[in-house]
């Protein structure tokens, strides 16, 4: 069999986009995937409907030790380029909120689109294939795989991060990076639910399933969106977003009344409704069960007129800075992404090529570029895959 020009490790979002781009340039491309099916994370994404991009994507929506690194690739392959392909394939989609685009029917259509385009570009996708050994002789890469030996001029590492191991995530890309002398930035789970323990778990876990809008702040980042109580702690978009900025010991601030001055509001409620019980007043702005629980635990259920100004201040402080302490996160088991990874300092931002080894590229989640929740991570996968595919 003729040897490929380009070998791509990982048939996920970034790997398939890179393969299509390189294949369309006439490169012989082989994608090696160790699971039995390409695009498993795409299939499970967006609740089965794949939030495939975000029309508001800017470099500010990404975390990276070098916030400038993602700019070039994102500018050259935008959300609109991907939308054009989706439309060409007749895939119906809709905007959910904040520029987030989802398939109307199923994520399967995105995987099918990528595989059809890959096939048209002459790409060979080999599944159930693992790499046992990898070397570079200064000219070509040599791989010993479970389906035979292969050599190539370019090698693209698109094997993703560590999140959701049962979907095929491995630390392969990081090991390759280390093998070739690349620096790795510490990895950790991102876009992940928080866990609580002790009284913080006991007090709130029975509200599991309840959700409300909050503003969550941590390490200079602020997100206004829904928070969801779970039987382990806290999830929902606001908490997932802020989890990427949180590290143990960091101060996490949750405002239960976003866009409202809690002190002003509670004072005016006392004036306007002196006979209303506090839990009924709180239930106007919070889910009733949550309001009731707060009163049971902290403030009682008296009529508003019986709360004096210092007590009203305590209530306002409680609402604008809910005193919950998180103990950790659910980790890679449920995280949508992995923060950190291959240091961008040693990669070209235009081609994703290694500055150490000619012909080696790193794309997608394995690189230290992580998007917010909302389609940004796929947009990074498409953009970085496209950038490498044009160059490899
Ligand atoms: C539950 C969930 C939902 C998500 N929803 C969204 C969403 O709606 N929108 C969004 O933008 N992002 C979403 N994400 C994040 C998004 O899926 C990832 O950021 C994106 O898939 C990263 O693309 P990638 O190609 O770098 O990695 P992956 O898509 O993870 O692909 C890596 C591929 O490499 C393969 N691989 C790993 N190790 C090896 C090896 N040793 N040899 C061969 N192959 C290997 C893997 O099996 C996999 O197929 C979600 C993530 C999860 C977990």
Mean pLDDT to the nearest integer, 317-328: 96
181-206 pLDDT, tens digit per residue, is 999 999 999 999 999 999 999 999 99
Length of the chain: 392
The Cα 18–Cα 5 span in angstroms is 13
For residues 294 and 356, membership in a common domain is answered with: no
114 Rama sector, left if φ>0, alpha if ψ -120 to 50, beta otherwise: alpha
Distance between start and end Cα atoms, the chain: 21
Question: Atom 51, ligand 1: which residue's CA is nearest?
Answer: 336
- Quickly state the pLDDT bin for 1 (edges 50, 70, 90): low
For residues 317 and 363, membership in a common domain is answered with: no
261-318 pLDDT, tens digit per residue, is 999 999 999 999 999 999 999 999 999 999 999 999 999 999 999 999 999 999 999 9
The Cα 127–Cα 113 span in angstroms is 18
Q: Find how far residue 212's CA is from the centre of its chain.
A: 21
What is the domain-level CATH number for residue 216? Answer: 2.40.30.10
Report the nearest atom of ligand 1 relative to the CA of 51. 8
CB 29 within 8 A of CB 123: yes
For residues 30 and 177, membership in a common domain is answered with: yes
Ligand 1: centre distance to CA 368 (Å): 14
**pLDDT surpassing 90 at residue 36:** yes
Cα–Cα nearest to 363, from 69, 116, 79, 101: 69
Q: Are strands 29-32 and 6-9 parallel, antiparallel or unpaired?
A: parallel
The number of distinct structural domains making up the chain is 2
Ligand 1: centre distance to CA 155 (Å): 18
Query: What's the pLDDT at 66?
Result: 98
Ligand 1: centre distance to CA 12 (Å): 6
For residues 292 and 260, membership in a common domain is answered with: yes
The Cα 240–Cα 234 span in angstroms is 9
- Is the whole model's pTM more than 0.85, yes or no? yes
Examine residue 1 and state whether it is found in any structural domain, yes or no: no
Pick the last residue of a domain from 305, 329, 353: 329
- CA neighbours closer than 13 Å in the CB half-sphere of residue 320: 14
For residues 31 and 165, membership in a common domain is answered with: yes
Tell me 298's DSSP state.
I
CB 238 within 8 A of CB 215: yes
For residues 141 and 232, membership in a common domain is answered with: no
**pLDDT surpassing 80 at residue 224:** yes
For residues 12 and 161, membership in a common domain is answered with: yes
Question: Atom 42, ligand 1: which residue's CA is nearest?
Answer: 34
Q: Find how far residue 67's CA is from the centre of its chain.
A: 16
- Quickly state the pLDDT bin for 166 (edges 50, 70, 90): confident
Any alpha helices (H) in 32-107, and if so which ranges?
40-44, 71-76, 79-88
Pocket of ligand 1, candidates 7, 8, 9, 10: which has the most ligand atoms within 8 Å of its Cβ, to mutate? 10
Ligand 1: centre distance to CA 335 (Å): 11
Residues 6+ apart with CB under 8 A from 128: 33, 34, 35, 36, 146, 147
Domain span including residue 84: 6-188+336-391
Tell me 240's DSSP state.
H
Which residue matches tokens 């160790």? 34
What is the domain-level CATH number for residue 112? Answer: 3.50.50.60
Kindly tell me the sign of the dihedral angle through the C-alpha atoms of 49, 11, 122, 70.
Answer: positive
* Mean pLDDT value across the chain: 97
CB 158 within 8 A of CB 363: yes
Mean pLDDT to the nearest integer, 109-124: 98
């Amino acid at each position: 069999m003729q040897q490929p020009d380009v070998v791509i490790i990982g048939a996920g979002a970034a790997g398939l986009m890179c393969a299509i781009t390189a294949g369309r340039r006439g490169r012989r491309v082989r994608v090696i995937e160790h699971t039995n099916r390409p695009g498993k994370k795409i299939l499970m994404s967006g609740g089965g409907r794949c939030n495939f991009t975000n029309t508001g994507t800017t470099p500010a929506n990404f975390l990276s030790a070098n916030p400038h690194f993602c700019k070039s690739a994102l500018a050259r392959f935008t959300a609109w380029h991907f939308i054009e392909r989706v439309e060409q394939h007749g895939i119906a989609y809709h905007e959910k909120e904040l520029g987030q685009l989802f398939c109307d029917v199923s994520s399967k259509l995105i995987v099918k689109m990528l595989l059809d385009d890959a096939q048209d570009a002459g790409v060979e996708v080999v599944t159930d294939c693992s790499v046992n050994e990898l070397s570079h002789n200064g000219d070509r890469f040599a791989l010993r795989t479970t389906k035979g030996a292969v050599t190539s001029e370019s090698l693209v590492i698109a094997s993703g991060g560590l999140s959701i191991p049962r979907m095929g995530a491995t630390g392969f890309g990081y090991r390759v990076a280390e093998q070739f002398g690349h620096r790795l930035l510490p990895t950790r789970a991102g876009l992940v639910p928080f866990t609580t323990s002790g009284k913080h778990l006991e007090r709130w876990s029975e509200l599991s399933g309840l959700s409300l809008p909050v503003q969550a702040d941590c390490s200079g980042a602020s997100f206004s969106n829904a928070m969801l109580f779970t039987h382990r702690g806290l999830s929902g978009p606001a908490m997932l977003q802020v989890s990427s900025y949180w590290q143990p010991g960091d101060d996490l601030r949750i405002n239960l009344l976003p866009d409202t001055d809690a002190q002003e509001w509670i004072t005016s409620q006392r004036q306007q409704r002196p006979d209303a019980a506090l839990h009924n007043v709180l239930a106007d702005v919070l889910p009733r069960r949550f309001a009731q629980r707060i009163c049971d635990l902290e403030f009682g259920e008296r009529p508003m007129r019986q709360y004096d100004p210092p007590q009203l201040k305590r209530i306002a402080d409680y609402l604008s800075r809910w005193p919950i302490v998180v103990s950790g996160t659910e980790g890679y088991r449920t995280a949508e992404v992995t923060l950190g990874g291959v240091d961008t300092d040693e990669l070209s931002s235009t081609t994703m090529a290694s500055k150490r080894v000619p012909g080696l590229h790193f794309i997608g989640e394995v690189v230290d570029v992580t998007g917010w929740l909302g389609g940004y991570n796929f947009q990074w996968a498409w953009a970085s895959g496209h950038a490498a595919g044009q160059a490899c």
